[in-house]
Amino acid sequence: MALDKSIEIYERGEALKKHCEALLGAAENRIEKIRLDRAGKPQGVEPLDGE
């Protein structure tokens, strides 16, 4: 395989990796944890990371 083609494929892979990381980060920011009251019933939600 020619060096130019190898570099092109590598750059495409890097671009796809960055795109996927951005999508994953956005999805992680939307995940919420269900908050329960003392009786164990759902009371609401909060960010998964506790912020």
Q: What per-residue confidence (pLDDT) applies to 5? A: 95
Q: What is the 3-state secondary structure (H, E, C) of the chain?
A: CCHHHHHHHHHHHHHHHHHHHHHHHHHHHHCEEEEECCCCCEEEEEECCCC
- Give the model confidence (pLDDT) of 8-40 as tens digits: 999 999 999 999 999 999 888 888 888 888 998
Q: What per-residue confidence (pLDDT) applies to 16? A: 98
Question: pTM surpassing 0.85?
Answer: no
